[in-house]
Structure 1
């Protein structure tokens, strides 16, 4: 109970409106429409999302990374706004390669404060974020011509093999879980080869963890990990709550406000993860 109360106070005190509305939906029986209303403030006339919705870059221009963040908020809130999703898909189609691939960001971010890791690599169309966006659209049960085109591109790319980096693999798993054969055995064999994968819960460095790959007990990918591994990362999540009630970051956002905003994101996510895995008492 103390974990929840401290986390709630952090969200109420320091998180931005979007995370406060999402917290209300997840833990206080709040109206999911409030999450959609908050997302509208980040929407651009072109149908995409920007304005630092993903806080590591403060650029107002639409980026696929911000679209992905908007989709994640709707999925977490259990709401599907067809106008927002459809407009975002239209925008994705407008900036995609002829084959349907999109990049995380674009050079417009260089004119605004951004984290050091937000650099040229984010301008390259790739499985990160194309595969993850397609997977999220399947989860939202939203059909669109861009989704079909991007699906074909992802399938062609994956025919050449799985990615070697943890974040890209995370996006690919979002895609594969909605395919007829997700290829669990191939993914299991590939995990030890991944960079930026933090399999050991005692490792304090930044990386993608088993809880990112398999956030819930019924996840397709939970079978990749032992219960001991999952329990270790849940224990670590509990231990990593800061004295102020929020969770700290293992990277450096572009400034104090972005840091607080991202801490709000990860704090709501941490509380939700603990709840969904039976490790959080809120009564």
Structure 2
């Protein structure tokens, strides 16, 4: 099975519009404006994003997690729309704490189908997603009062220590790479202590892998991992492609549509990583 052709066919057959437009932009030279147009359908009148853009909850209300996915999609496409971004950041500012922190989700998700892990812990303002959102705005080069306020809060929180789970540390690293605090030794020493960090490529469990933390060879965090470790995870990524061309999930979204949507996200992500590491 040809990795790329099978993945392309999966996206053409099963992918929802936004990931299909992203695939076409990244791999087929399509105009990135198509990704922006697809994302507009998920943006609410208040400026935030919702409607299950992140498919583990089907809530239409604006949620910071969906803003994070929207920004990640724009960055992956090499797209930027200042008005779309500004409206989203204005919304983040409107729901943030006085220090600028925001939660992943909120109680609004309780009225809609959601994955089991989407529960009360996502309602607390936290580095995840605040640090990731600030890091994304740094990547855009997009200035905003909320960004600066939230960045100061993130820096103060990270001065106390890194998060104890791999998702939180991942978004902290997305923030830190745009500061003067890229401390490889600190992160390297912390990784073995993290919940959900999957260091061993043969581990079948759900987790964040070195390829999530260093998705390209020129990543600031690439030196954390030796060549053998990354090659093993790249081999595993290739081996995990399913017979239908897409990649499977290691968790349970709330329904068939959500599962296919997330498989599309994961499939485009896998192909982008394999392309970056010259394994396609």
Q: Which TM-score tier does this pair reach, normalised by the shorter chain? A: over 0.9
Which residue in 2 is equivalent to 1:116?
116
Deviation by residue 1:181-210 (Cα, 9 ceiling, x = unmatched): 222211111111111100000001000000
Deviation by residue 1:262-281 (Cα, 9 ceiling, x = unmatched): 0001001111110010000x
Gaps of 5+ in 2: none
Which residue in 2 is equivalent to 1:93?
93
Gaps of 5+ in 1: none
Which residue in 1 is equivalent to 2:5?
5
* Cα distance in 1, alignment partners of residues 51 and 261 from structure 2: 13
Indicate whether 1:203 and 2:203 are aligned: yes
Deviation by residue 1:47-99 (Cα, 9 ceiling, x = unmatched): 00000000000000000000000000000000111011100100000000011
Which residue in 1 is equivalent to 2:47?
47
* Cα distance in 1, alignment partners of residues 75 and 9 from structure 2: 24
Which residue in 2 is equivalent to 1:27?
27
1:48-197 correspondence runs (5 A): 48-197=48-197
> Number of matched residues?
280
Equivalent residue of 1:259, what SS? Answer: helix
Query: Normalising by the residue count of structure 2, what TM-score does the alignment of the two structures yield?
Result: 0.99
* Cα distance in 2, alignment partners of residues 128 and 197 from structure 1: 15
Cα RMSD between the aligned structures?
0.7
Equivalent residue of 1:217, what SS? Answer: coil
Deviation by residue 1:133-169 (Cα, 9 ceiling, x = unmatched): 0000001110100000000000111111111100000
Shift of 1:180: 1.4
Which residue in 2 is equivalent to 1:229?
229
* Cα distance in 2, alignment partners of residues 221 and 164 from structure 1: 18
* Cα distance in 2, alignment partners of residues 223 and 197 from structure 1: 17
Query: Normalising by the residue count of structure 1, what TM-score does the alignment of the two structures yield?
Result: 0.98
* Cα distance in 2, alignment partners of residues 270 and 188 from structure 1: 24
Equivalent residue of 1:27, what SS? Answer: helix
